[in-house]
Amino acid sequence: MQVWALFRVILLIRAVLAVASTGSKGLNQHIREFGDSAIEDNLKRARYSLIYFYRDACQYCDKFNPDFENLSVLFNNASDSGEGENSIIQVIKTNGKVNPRLNQLFKVQSYPTLKLLDFKTMEIFTYTKRKRDILSLLEFVKEKVPDAKPNYKNFVSKVKYLDNASFDDHVKQSKKDTLVVFTMPYMDDWINYQYPAHFYQQLADRMSSDERNIQFSLVDAGSQAASDVIAGLKISNFPSIVYFKGDGRVKAYGVYDQNQVMHGILSEKTLDSFIDNIDSEEHGKWFEMKRSSIDSS
């Protein structure tokens, strides 16, 4: 059931990402926060409010923050002033440490805590499941507010998803530098890579428009549709990186690493370091390579 739900969400998001867009709305435009000084003014903006109670220096809150941000993008329209197209539900947060009145009103005793308020009836639902991942929360919203539909158009990814059919054309035809990550969605640090709060999505959004003008791409190594790409590049370790320079040079990181301790590790810190030091030998040397990964000759 959960696997099918994940598959369905990925299909929906990728269908949206295929549509041309004028640009991506910043993540922060979707984040809403309120406090004791304006409780009613904020809660009356929508029939339902999914409220995230957090505290500073809370490790479980830190872990949940990306899922909250993903929900915010899917349900909070950046242009919504409160009476707009998505006023049926909003996702909003509050710092429990500095807002004791809200804590008291919603009977919050631990963090993170999620409460769903029906502003019309003043009924409050508490999210009680141990798992606080994006899929579980989408199911919770669907169950309690059937008319609330995630707006996948709020997120336009700067990451290009590649497979056998698209890899060569995307890499060969571009004069830009192209960074390709080869990974699988169940690997540590790469779960929910298709959502806006994932560090790779934010890195792509930030760097694709700076002076380096890098194209960010990703190959799902577990997909049969990418098997020829994996075989053509002889990649034996995941996750890993291949960086294609616009001048034809190539640099790989972790692609052929046989160190079992390092398998499955490609963190945000490592990726940042690789890009920032791309012209040094810290992460390997450049070599010449055909831009085509699938050589039919």
Confidence band, pLDDT 50/70/90 cuts, at residue 14: very low
Confidence band, pLDDT 50/70/90 cuts, at residue 212: confident
**192 and 111 belong to one structural domain:** no
Q: What is the CATH number of the domain that holds 197?
A: 3.40.30.10
Q: Does residue 297 lie within any of the structural domains? A: no
Burial class (CB in 10 A: 0-12, 13-18, 19+), 219: buried
**122 and 260 belong to one structural domain:** no
Burial class (CB in 10 A: 0-12, 13-18, 19+), 296: exposed
**65 and 122 belong to one structural domain:** yes
Nearest-CA neighbor of 77 among 154, 19, 142? 154
| DSSP letter assigned to residue 33 | B
Q: Does residue 296 lie within any of the structural domains? A: no
**39 and 57 belong to one structural domain:** yes
Burial class (CB in 10 A: 0-12, 13-18, 19+), 247: exposed
Question: Residues 86-131: pLDDT tens digits?
Answer: 579 999 999 999 999 999 999 999 999 999 999 999 999 999 999 9
Q: Does residue 267 lie within any of the structural domains? A: yes
Query: Which of 21-25, 277-281, 290-294 tops mean pLDDT?
Result: 277-281
Cβ-contact 82, 47 below 8 angstroms: no
- Among the candidates 123, 154, 185, a domain finishes at 154
- Among the candidates 154, 184, 201, a domain finishes at 154
Residue ranges of the alpha helices (H) in 117-208? Answer: 134-144, 167-172, 199-207
Nearest-CA neighbor of 268 among 176, 213, 202, 207? 202
**182 and 223 belong to one structural domain:** yes
**185 and 280 belong to one structural domain:** yes
Cα separation, 53 vs 154, in Å, equals: 24
Residue ranges of the alpha helices (H) in the chain? Answer: 2-17, 39-43, 59-75, 100-106, 134-144, 167-172, 199-207, 227-233, 268-276
- Domain of residue 112 covers 2-154
Cβ-contact 165, 225 below 8 angstroms: yes
Strands 159-162 and 178-183: unpaired
What residues have CB less than 8 Å from 162, skipping those under 6 apart?
A: 170, 180, 217, 218, 219, 226, 229
- Among the candidates 154, 179, 202, a domain finishes at 154
**268 and 148 belong to one structural domain:** no
Q: Does residue 12 lie within any of the structural domains? A: yes
**So what's the pLDDT on residue 254?**
81
Count: domains in the chain: 2
**For range 50-77, the mean pLDDT:** 94
**176 and 137 belong to one structural domain:** no
**For range 227-252, the mean pLDDT:** 90
**For range 134-157, the mean pLDDT:** 91
Does this model's pTM top 0.75? My answer is no
**For range 2-14, the mean pLDDT:** 48
**Is pLDDT at 191 greater than 90 in this prediction?**
no
Which stretch of 7-11, 16-20, 224-228 has the lowest confidence by average pLDDT?
16-20
**137 and 163 belong to one structural domain:** no
**244 and 275 belong to one structural domain:** yes
**208 and 94 belong to one structural domain:** no
